[in-house]
Chain A
Amino acid sequence: MAGAALAAPFLPAVALAEVELLIEFRPGLSPLSLGLAEGDGVRLRRFSPGELSDPIASGRIQSRLMLAEGVVAVGPEAGLWAARELEGVHIHFSGGVSRVSGAALKARGWTGELAVSASAFLDLATTQRWKRIGVLYTSGFEGVLPEIRAAGSARGLAVEAREVAVRQDIPAAAQSMARESDAIWLLGDPVLTTGPGFDYLIGLSLSRRLPLLVPEPDLIKRGGYAAWEPDWEVVASSAAALGKRVRGGLGWPRARVALGGDAGRLVINEVLRRRWADVPTGGSR
């Protein structure tokens, strides 16, 4: 460390801690389009598709972001990378929080937004005449349950929730929920949405005609019934606004996980919708 002490006076100062907005490059995305100005203390850091898996680019971004006061990772790829690579810095996940372990969210004090519209899912349930919605969730995501229950109650829907601690809990929890529910909402981390756990849920869903509401549109291709595709421009603007609020001294959101806004569209698995159109869906039948 003596070297550092000797060298430091001769080198230019590193940037003061800022909030970094990590987001995949999109045409038209700029500090201006997000309402960011110099002096806001919020820096936009764009990356190209696949760039974060390049160790050269990844290392360079990492060395910058670890100096930040906090990082707002917009989208699943940014979120996954930030959770894996960054240490000692607060991370807020704007969308893509379902890619992050709920235990890590709790342990590290990170915050996030699911970028899922509860209204859209529950309106779908009303349209489909589902009466009971089962929510399978993992630890760290329980904070949004009261909001979902309240929204369901306002629509006359019963919302039952069951926690899954580890992958081995999934069969029993899902079987039980399948008997009691017309659809299952997956609200959680990779324990529920990847690997054998998700494969089991898909198998159950298809065999029982039990619609699965999944956290990301990509999971529709694998057998999910419905997902929310957020308007990423709106999500990015909200993330920029959050960065400015943090720099303005208002701090990070208190809630560990929030649901997200209603800007976006509901994506339905059209194959399943057609196949299940003439027969009532729901695991309890």
Chain B
Amino acid sequence: MSFWAEPRPVALSLCLCALAAAAPVQAKVSFTGYGHFLFTPDANLRLSVPTSLVPGAEAGVFRARGFATESLGLFAATPVGEDADFLMDVSYRGVGGTVRDLRVQYAYLETPLPWGLRLQAGKVTLPLGYFNTRRFYPFQRVELTAPLFQSVALGLPIADTGGIVSYHGESSELDLDVRLFGVNGYGSVPASTASFRNPALAGGLEISNNLGAGNNNRDVAVGGQVALSQAASWEYGISYYRGAWDRSGERLFQLSGSHLHWTPGRFDVLLEYLRLSVDGDQGMHRAFDREDWALDGGFVTLSAPIGTPFGRPLKGYLRGEFYDGSARDGTGGHELLRSGAAGFAFKESDWITWKGEYLWLDYRVPSTSSTTLQLMGYVARLALVVTF
């Protein structure tokens, strides 16, 4: 388990105090933050579990209703030089039904380099896709929930320890952003050195826990993003990540993707495509009957203003999501995720937003037999997002 994987309020308090104290005498540390609270009026999920995948698990229909603290975050920022800042986010998150998590989402120094380059060094949010860096926080997006695959399997925000060098160029018509990073990278699942993912319910399918406090091999994961944009009207970018995930540093995990953010008129469209490719994963062998597997798919979100009740903006949105994973040679079964969501966001003030969402999902992971782990159903949610 990583250092930040469990609550350590004393350590975090000391960290924040050190941040405040370490800045030059004349520097100011500004603190801002947010809270994201959920009410689930109704969740209805049917779970089918083959015992070959999850021994002892019980199938059935799960109904839920209740309140939850989805996340609470505190951001700190302080200038530490002529054009350098230190930035940090400490967030509490409720993940699933039982896990409570206090972690540093990011903590890095951002400083200029020669030739117009900039460096972020520390725990940085990786420039993969658009959502990860610019829509992750609930106050940054219209939608109540993040796209399921990215948030549950990849574990948003995708952040790791290392550095990012970035370049921003402008012409009269277009902007160009190039970001290159080197980080520890994803390792194996915490409980096994031979598995990258496991087709099990209790977190095995998530790879967010594979990002540990240190590197599990001598390989440094590298990647980057190139994005072209025009003012606030559109942005197109491609992203790539490559790193060995096993202890010997021989089995590769590659992640590639592209994104298009487009704002025609009053609409806002975000389309992201993602492809994961993994070598030598004994964990998913049980699902795909092969150790080399790949998964690709994406999501599209459309949002637009739909009214101004009480003089305040109300936006509506739709989201569709589809992912398909299988052995790289195309044999065996398929891991499938299909999901759709519709909802609204009402901005009561600059600080308070109310949201509602209806989410439908169908998720299946195969076993080598004819049985499949399947989760299918819907979740209706209301949320309150407060920033300060």
In the complex, whether A254 has a CB less than 8 A from a CB of chain B is no
CB-CB under 8 A from B26, the residues of chain A are 14, 67
Residue of B21, B84, B85, B350 near A4 (CB, 8 A) is B21
| Interface pair B81/A3, CB less than 8 Å apart | no
Instruction: Return B84 CB to nearest CB of chain A, in Å.
Output: 7
Shortest CB distance A74–B (Å) = 18
Return the contact of A15 from the options B30, B82, B137 (Cβ within 8 A): B82
Given A11-B22, A67-B27, A56 and B89 touching (CB < 8 A)? yes
Interface-located stretch among A47-55, A127-135, A163-171, A204-212: A47-55
Q: Select one of A7, A15, A60, A67 contacting B21, CB under 8 A.
A: A7
Would you call B79 and A56 a contact (CB within 8 A)? no
The interface residues of chain A lying within 8 Å CB-to-CB of B267 are none
B34 contacts chain A at the CB level, 8 A cutoff: yes
* A3 vs B387: C-alpha distance when bound (angstroms): 30
Known: A8-B24, A11-B22. Contact between A59 and B30, CB under 8 A? yes
Tell whether A32 is near chain B: CB-to-CB under 8 Å: no
Any B CB within 8 A of the CB of A27: yes
Residue of B nearest to A28 (CB): B172
Please name the residue on chain B nearest to A88 by beta carbon.
B28
A280 to chain B, nearest CB (A): 31
Q: How far is the CA of A1 from the CA of B17 in the complex (A)?
A: 10
Contact B82 A11 (CB under 8 A): no
Which of A7, A54, A62 is the one whose CB lies under 8 Å from B139? A54
Q: How far is the CA of A1 from the CA of B231 in the complex (A)?
A: 44
Given A3-B21, A8-B24, A59:B82 Cβ within 8 A = no
Question: Which of B70-78, B328-336, B364-372 is the interface stretch?
Answer: B70-78
Q: Does B3 contact A (CB under 8 A)?
A: no
Name which of A48, A63, A64 has the most chain B CB atoms within 10 A of its CB: A63
With contacts A1-B21, A4-B25 taken as known, whether A60 is within 8 angstroms of B33 at the C-beta atoms is no
Residues of B within 8 A of A (CB): 17-18, 21-34, 75-85, 87, 89, 137, 139-140, 231-232, 350-351, 387-388
- A interface, CB within 8 angstroms of B: 1-5, 7-8, 11-15, 27, 48-49, 53-56, 58-60, 62-64, 66-67
Shortest Cβ-Cβ A-B pairs, 8 listed = A3-B21, A55-B32, A59-B32, A12-B81, A63-B30, A7-B22, A62-B30, A60-B77
List 5 extra interface pairs beyond A60-B77, A67-B79, CB under 8 A.
Answer: A7-B24, A14-B23, A15-B81, A48-B232, A53-B351
Q: Could you name 30 residue pairs across A and B whose Cβ atoms are closer than 8 Å?
A: A3-B21, A3-B22, A4-B22, A11-B22, A11-B24, A11-B80, A11-B81, A12-B80, A12-B84, A13-B81, A14-B27, A14-B79, A14-B80, A14-B81, A15-B79, A15-B81, A54-B139, A54-B387, A55-B32, A55-B34, A55-B75, A55-B388, A56-B32, A59-B32, A59-B76, A60-B30, A62-B32, A63-B78, A64-B79, A64-B85
